[in-house]
């Protein structure tokens, strides 16, 4: 547990009592604060009262007497499409609003670090797609190389649930736009930007606001080193903004598909090979094609970013390559779950938007594609150029028929349920093909989250394969 600093003797309000909210309460109490809480759910409030916490309706002006800070959970809107009433009330009362990420950055360093031989570091990873895989891969490389490491943030555990830093440790944080948008302190040592594609547009009032939320980690955080994916204009812009010129190696540019030989420091992948270039010459190369935990060009971009971080932390190429080869992959992200009769089964339920689904479709040669769900803003048009590898689509979701009509040039069967889709895909799949779940849509029309959807796919496949 990271005890929050500089809150002793103060009263702090916590809005939202999910995973991060509960951890925030404990960390504030450990730091000596008196905590009051509110959650829109009656069950969460009742549990808080049973735990001995003071529950206040923070939407009421009178609830702010004596409160010096509000800490809100990342899923609660603080500006768009409109601020939560409790946050608006905090503004009116003149109470600062922060989140657990801001508390972490102002509390992680302690006096104990004076006795360390090597100062701990924080690596942050943000972007639209690939940030979970990149974060987990960095953590895996560090662990395999014998470097103390913890992984938290938008993946795994809450940031304030981390253990206090050890000598030489590296903390790897996956951060969403919801987390970077509000945090009042952002001071990573190394920050990664993977890529940008339209997502969460209602929460950020459009693509510009979404990018601005990501950019805060670099513009306000001032990392010692920035690893920037430059396959989109937003990444190219940010790399240019952060760099002082061609010789500035504080910015490491990464790409999947583009040679970056002119940059002072770059890591890129082409045709399955990763190359690291520094000051105009190649210093390392790895064949990524046989690394089963990182299939496809999108995962090769993730590998480039993780490689760049590991190199910036002083790890050698051989150690990084060996660790990559043992990387098992993450559940629901290009997760190979079975193979039978020459047919592979891959769970990419995390492909909840068009861009991530397009990347998944480019990773395999011939695909029986399970797709569909709660369609996101913008439609499926950008997917059309990437349907060439699809032998057939099996569409799930409550609006499966409407989804299927947006897939021109391929056969699409309306299945509605996961059980029917898996049954039909298995019946028709041939050796050399891949049955791929990459929905290109949110899960909330049928499932609580993408994890539940992926678990259902895995269960249906295993039940039928025996």
- Residues at the binding site for ATP are 127-133
Q: Is the Cβ–Cβ distance between 17 and 36 less than 8 Å?
A: no
- For residues 161 and 455, give the distance between their C-alpha atoms in angstroms, rounded to a whole number: 26
Q: Torsion angle of alpha carbons 267, 270, 274, 278, nearest 10°? A: -40
* Residues contributing to the annotated binding site: 127-133
CB within 8 Å of 439: residues ≥ 6 apart: 349, 351, 352, 357, 370, 371, 372, 373, 396, 397, 450, 453
User: Where are the extended beta strands (E) located within 246-328?
Assistant: 251-256, 265-270, 273-278, 281-287
Contact 33, 7 (CB under 8 A): yes
- Residues 6 or more apart from 319 whose CB is under 8 A from it? 141, 144, 145
Q: Which two tokens stand for residue 7?
A: 């809150």
Cα(64)–Cα(91) distance, integer angstroms: 10
Taking the CA atoms of the chain, what radius of gyration do you get in angstroms? 23
The helices-and-strands tally (H runs, E runs) of the chain is 15, 20
Per the rule left: phi > 0, alpha: psi between -120 and 50, beta: everything else, 7 is alpha
| Phi (first) and psi of residue 141, to 5 degrees | -60, -45
Instruction: Identify the residue whose tokens are 């678990």.
Output: 455
3-state secondary structure of 455: helix
Instruction: State residue 67 phi and psi, 5-degree precision.
Output: -85, 130
């Amino acid at each position: 547990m990271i005890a929050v600093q500089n809150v002793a003797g103060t009263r702090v309000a916590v809005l939202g009592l999910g995973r991060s909210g509960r951890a925030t309460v404990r960390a504030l109490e450990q730091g000596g604060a008196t905590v009051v809480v509110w959650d829109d759910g009656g069950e969460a409030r009742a549990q808080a009262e049973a735990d001995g916490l003071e529950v206040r309706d923070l939407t009421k002006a009178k609830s702010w007497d004596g409160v010096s800070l509000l800490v809100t959970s990342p899923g609660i809107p603080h500006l768009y499409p409109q601020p939560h009433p409790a946050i608006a009330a905090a503004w009116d009362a003149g109470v600062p609003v922060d989140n657990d990420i801001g508390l972490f950055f102002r509390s992680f360093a302690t006096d104990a670090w004076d006795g360390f031989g090597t100062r701990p570091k924080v690596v942050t990873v943000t972007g639209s797609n690939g940030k979970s895989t990149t974060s987990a891969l960095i953590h895996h490389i560090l662990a395999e190389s014998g470097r103390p490491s913890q992984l938290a943030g938008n993946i795994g555990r809450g940031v304030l649930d981390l253990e206090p830093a050890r000598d030489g440790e590296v903390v790897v944080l996956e951060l969403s736009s919801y987390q970077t948008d509000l945090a009042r302190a952002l001071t990573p040592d190394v920050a990664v930007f993977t890529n940008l594609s339209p997502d969460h547009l209602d929460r950020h009032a459009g693509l510009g606001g979404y990018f601005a939320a990501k950019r805060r980690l670099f513009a306000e955080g001032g990392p010692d080193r920035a690893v920037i994916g430059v396959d989109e204009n937003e990444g190219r812009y940010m790399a240019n903004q952060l760099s002082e010129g061609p010789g500035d190696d504080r910015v490491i540019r990464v790409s999947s598909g583009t040679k970056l030989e002119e940059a002072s420091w770059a890591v890129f992948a082409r045709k399955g090979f990763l190359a690291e270039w520094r000051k105009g010459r190649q210093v390392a190369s790895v064949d990524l094609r046989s690394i089963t935990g990182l299939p496809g060009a999108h995962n090769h971009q993730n590998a480039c970013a993780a490689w760049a971080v590991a190199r910036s932390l002083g790890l050698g190429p051989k150690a990084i390559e060996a660790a990559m080869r043992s990387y098992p992959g993450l559940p629901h992200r290009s997760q190979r779950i079975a193979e039978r009769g020459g047919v592979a089964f891959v769970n990419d339920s995390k492909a909840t938007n068009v861009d991530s689904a397009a990347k998944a479709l480019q990773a395999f040669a011939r695909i029986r594609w399970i797709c569909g769900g709660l369609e996101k803003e913008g439609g499926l048009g950008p997917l059309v150029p990437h349907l060439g590898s699809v032998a057939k689509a099996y569409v799930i979701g409550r609006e499966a028929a409407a989804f299927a009509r947006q897939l021109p040039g391929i056969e699409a069967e309306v299945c509605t349920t996961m059980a029917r889709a898996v049954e039909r895909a298995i019946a028709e799949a041939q050796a050399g093909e891949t049955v791929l779940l990459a929905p290109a849509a949110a899960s909330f029309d049928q499932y609580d989250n993408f994890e539940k959807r992926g678990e259902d796919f895995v269960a249906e496949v295993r039940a039928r394969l025996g």
